[in-house]
Amino acid sequence: MTDYTAAKTFLIMMLCFWASYAAKAQTAGKHAFTLRGTVDTHSRDTIDIRYTNEAGQIVKDSVISNNPNFIIKGYLAEPSTMWLNLRGKDRSYKKSGTFFIEPGEMTIAVNKNDVNLSVMTGSATQHEFDRLNKAENIITQEIASPTGQYAKETDGARRSIRKDRIRALEFTFIAMHPNSYLSPFLMKKYAGYQYRDSLAAQYQKLTEGVKNSVAGKQIYAYLQLPAFKPQTPKVGGTAPDFTETGINNEQVSLSAYRGKHYILLDFWASWCGPCLAMLPKVKELYTKYHHKGLEVIGINMDYTPEKWRKAVAHEQMTQWKNIYPAKIELSNEYPLLSSYGITTIPALFLIDKNGMLVDMVKDEQGGITALEKHLAKIFE
């Protein structure tokens, strides 16, 4: 090889190296983030953080702040949740919050009294999250008790209304922001509490970039699970059959009523205020139509069988069959609840003598009235 050829080969190799280096540097630059923070304190504090970097690895870091200012740097492939924890010098307390960080320059003013009230700038996703939290706080205040002490409110119905309104608000955000990384984060929150087709519809509306995010891929994985919530039960379809153990250790099968009775399935729990508010109407319907062929099966969702048995006795529900659904061992999956797609209670399902689902009630205010009219028409 001549000196000229060797020099030319070396030059080509160096150009390739620098091109590769420049490309990597450019990519790293796009993914780099800097978070500059302040803490309103005069004592020595430790700021702990945890986030997922561009390689999908969980990064844990700590900064010991001898003054009110600190700085954290790293690399992100996309907006990511960051857990931030503040510890005092004597480590006698821990206060933490969750934020959204993303590539670029950001600042955060840490609120030592309530880390979740810290103010972050420079993150578009965090800005969306802040606006959503503000809207949710308005809902909370509107539904709070007259004294404003919502945290101490024991009214189950009030809590249920708040939960439903916040869920509706967050579902609206998901529908209107398919390009936001906050959308799959919110979808994960409800993934185990909504029907498969509802979650799939939300996922399909996401942009490709968001679908390919870490949270987007997790939603896709949820949808592939065999035990995931089924399709929303449809009126006119066959009601899923089941065999469960009743409160007196008897076997209760839906198919045993086929050709004989109409069945009203009542999904409830003693901790559910709206369920207990609906119970007198269920008793009224049972008394009115039982002799004409209506049976009720109560399906309880209390935390333990013991609480279920006490609740059945206390609420005087022994006139109909009561079951506590069996759970798959070493899991939190209840096949009966999954087969009916139960995500919220109260829920009523009216099944005819042929095993067909003919009515559903998920709205305890308007739905129960429609059910009354339906039963009156059936048994007139």
Query: Thinking of the domain 30-121, which architecture would CATH place it in?
Result: Sandwich (2.60)
For residue 156, the model assigns a pLDDT of: 58
H or E element at residue 186: helix 182-190
Please report, in angstroms and rounded to a whole number, the separation of the first and last CA atoms in the chain.
Answer: 103
- Between CA 183 and CA 137 the distance in angstroms is 19
Give per-residue pLDDT as tens, 201-232.
Answer: 899 999 999 999 988 998 898 888 765 555 66
- Between CA 189 and CA 115 the distance in angstroms is 21
For residue 170, the model assigns a pLDDT of: 92
pTM over 0.75: no
For residue 235, the model assigns a pLDDT of: 83
Encoded tokens for 172: 């609206």
Give per-residue pLDDT as tens, 271-285.
Answer: 888 888 889 999 999
**Percent of the chain surpassing pLDDT 90:** 35
Give per-residue pLDDT as tens, 290-312.
Answer: 999 999 999 998 888 899 999 99
Gyration radius (Cα) of the chain, Å: 28
| pLDDT confidence bin for 91, thresholds 50/70/90 | low
| pLDDT confidence bin for 41, thresholds 50/70/90 | low
Give per-residue pLDDT as tens, 238-261.
Answer: 888 889 988 999 999 999 998 889
Please, where in the chain does CATH 2.60.40.1110 lie? 30-121
For residue 201, the model assigns a pLDDT of: 87
Please, where in the chain does CATH 3.40.30.10 lie? 243-378
Give the chain's count of helices (H) and strands (E): 11, 15
For residue 23, the model assigns a pLDDT of: 41
Is 11's pLDDT higher than 70? no
DSSP states of 274-299: HHHHHHHHHHHHHHHHGGGTEEEEEE
Which residues, including other chains, have CB under 8 Å from residue 31's CB and lie 6 or more apart? 54, 75, 76, 77, 103
- Between CA 222 and CA 118 the distance in angstroms is 32
CATH class of 243-378: alpha beta
Whether 197 and 341 have beta carbons less than 8 Å apart is answered as: no
Give per-residue pLDDT as tens, 316-355.
Answer: 999 999 999 887 655 556 778 878 877 678 889 999 999 9
Average pLDDT, the chain: 81
